[in-house]
Amino acid sequence: MATLCRPAVAVPEYVITQEETLDLARSIHADHPQLPLALRLIENTGVRKRHLVQSVEETLAHPGFEARNLRYEAEAKRRVPQVVREALEHARLTPQEIDLIVYVSCTGFMMPSLTAWLINSMGFRPETRQLPIAQLGCAAGGAAINRAHDFCTAYPNANVLIVACEFCSLCYQPTDLEIGTLLSNGLFGDAVAAAVVRGSGGTGVHLERNGSYLVPDTEEWIAYSVRSTGFHFLLDKRVPGTMEPLAPVLVQLAEQHKWNASELDFYIVHAGGPRILDDLCSHLKVDPECFRFSRATLTEYGNIASAVVFDALARYFDEGTAVDRATGLIAGFGPGITAEVALGRWTVPVKPQSFAKTLIRSSN
Enzyme catalytic residues: 138
State how far the Cα of 216 lies from the Cα of 220, in Å rounded to an integer: 11
Would you state the torsion angle of the CA atoms of residues 235, 108, 46, 217, taken in this order, to the nearest 10 degrees? 30
Residues pairing with 50 in the sheet: 16
State how far the Cα of 278 lies from the Cα of 243, in Å rounded to an integer: 9
Do residues 327 and 259 lie in contact, with contact meaning Cβ atoms separated by under 8 Å?
yes
Do residues 115 and 194 lie in contact, with contact meaning Cβ atoms separated by under 8 Å?
no
Strand 159-167, strand 100-104: pairing: parallel
DSSP code of residue 188 = B
State how far the Cα of 32 lies from the Cα of 29, in Å rounded to an integer: 5
Nearby residues of 57 by Cβ (< 8 Å), 6 or more positions away: none
Do residues 235 and 220 lie in contact, with contact meaning Cβ atoms separated by under 8 Å?
no
List the one residue out of 284, 206, 200 whose CA is nearest residue 250. Answer: 284
Element housing 334 (H / E): strand 327-334
Amino acid present at 222? I
List the one residue out of 168, 146, 167, 145 whose CA is nearest residue 235. Answer: 168
Could you give the C-alpha distances from 268 to 52, 303, 310, in angstroms and in order?
24, 14, 8
Q: Dmax of the chain from CA atoms?
A: 81
Element housing 315 (H / E): helix 308-319
